[in-house]
A and B are shown apart, each in its own frame.
Chain A
């Protein structure tokens, strides 16, 4: 998927947009291609895509992406059972619900996940499909934000940026934990790179909202919906959050995202050595 056809800087596009490449469990529906209400932007994408041959084509929607580790790889910090239910039932449910909704609405075809979320958010007045689309993206991002043998500390540039924006890594950890524990209801906690302010920040979002809607760049996240921790920790949120920080969070993934983000956010002048 090339950046030019998307029309936006899809930084963390983790779910492939148009056709499902690698997931055998995805559903592809065959349908006659009928051009619907054309909107600027979508039309040129359709014309340039392979599918516009005027015969019944395969419509691919979004597929359920597997986490980058086996379902039992995060034991004992996140049980296999939780992964099976959280990924296999909740996440899969969101994907299937999204696909079903997209079947009805041709004009949304052809976006990357990032664009879809921004369009559906509609500047604060979200369409009904927003919830499912955002939750699919959120969970993809979340699985990749964790790794077996996670925790510990970030290094190099990311650590420097954290220390610059939060004072110290310990302070960041405290603030992140506090944000997670003071979230009312269902939601997520994010470490983001703010585009305008050019700094890292911790934000809390409710239900399915994610920082893409404000055009910020997520670096890592923590799912604070009860389904994320209830099977393993019951109502002991503090233990869950601490376990995530100490044993699950993938600073490798965060570092990769940070590097990519710096292609879009200028964090400072480069240090060019003087000859």
Chain B
């Protein structure tokens, strides 16, 4: 048994994997959508969903994996400047993967509860923090419409202060870049690829319609987990 271990160790050391030490790099893969591409019509077209998922999200994952491999390589070589140089690619592509993974769960077909307003503790919290659900929606839509370039609009919860926030982030920055204790409940992708084929430059229409397929159940579940009733 010991000899076998010795042998495997030696192979690892000489093989490329051996450079990484004994742990192997975990790579990421495209998560499946919990619904068909066309299931969110007419709010979001099937063509957009397919491109968004299979092309855009996949590209973020591919590039994220590549950046992580390069990072691993640079770390094991002690190449500090490459490690630093790779951070923007990791933030962008990793952020893209993280954000889109949340986004797919944020949406649900109407027949599976998409668009149904939140009840329970999240519903209360929204009324307390914003006055009403309509006010929250208006606020998020205004932020989304005002966002220049590419980015996201978030409904998040500050798990330290236990209150809800509406924030926007640029490019693929995850919500946590706006505050380390912020947890995303809902995110709306306002990159043009998320709506252009269907809505062209009329972003406000996209923002109005996306609420019809918003999966409040997911948001409630996350909220209950972060802010349990004490």
A70 to B149, CA, bound (A): 27
Tell yes or no: B59 within 8 A of A by CB.
yes
B130-141 Cβ-contact flags toward A at 8 Å (1 or 0): 000000000000
**Which of B191, B193, B201 gathers the greatest number of chain A CB atoms within 10 Å?**
B201
With A185-B170, A185-B171, A235-B193 already in contact, the answer to whether A85 and B56 are too (CB < 8 A) is: no
Closest Cβ–Cβ distance, residue A267 to chain B (whole Å): 33
8 A-B Cβ contacts within 8 A?
Answer: A89-B201, A90-B201, A184-B92, A185-B149, A185-B172, A186-B192, A225-B192, A235-B51
Tell yes or no: A152 within 8 A of B by CB.
no
A179 to B55, CA, bound (A): 21
CB closest residue in chain B, given A132: B148
A131 to B149, CA, bound (A): 10
Chain B residues whose C-beta falls within 8 Å of the C-beta of A235 in the assembled complex:
51, 55-56, 59, 193
Tell yes or no: B150 within 8 A of A by CB.
yes
The contact of A230 among B92, B150, B170, B196, by CB within 8 Å, is B196
Given A89-B200, A234-B51, A234-B55, 15 extra CB contacts under 8 A: A85-B201, A93-B201, A184-B88, A184-B92, A184-B172, A185-B92, A185-B151, A186-B149, A186-B192, A207-B149, A208-B149, A226-B191, A227-B196, A230-B192, A235-B193
Q: How many of B's residues come within 8 Å of A, CB to CB? A: 20
A145 to B56, CA, bound (A): 28
A188 to B137, CA, bound (A): 32
B146-157 Cβ-contact flags toward A at 8 Å (1 or 0): 001111000000
Instruction: Point out residues on B near A: beta carbons under 8 Å.
Output: 51, 55-56, 59, 88, 92, 148-151, 170-172, 191-193, 196-197, 200-201
Closest Cβ–Cβ distance, residue A84 to chain B (whole Å): 10
The contact of B149 among A85, A89, A206, A230, by CB within 8 Å, is A206
Chain B residues whose C-beta falls within 8 Å of the C-beta of A230 in the assembled complex:
192-193, 196-197
Chain A residues whose C-beta falls within 8 Å of the C-beta of B192 in the assembled complex:
186, 225-227, 230
Tell yes or no: A21 within 8 A of B by CB.
no
Q: Is the CB of B196 within 8 A of A226?
A: yes
Closest Cβ–Cβ distance, residue B86 to chain A (whole Å): 13
The contact of A226 among B88, B92, B148, B193, by CB within 8 Å, is B193
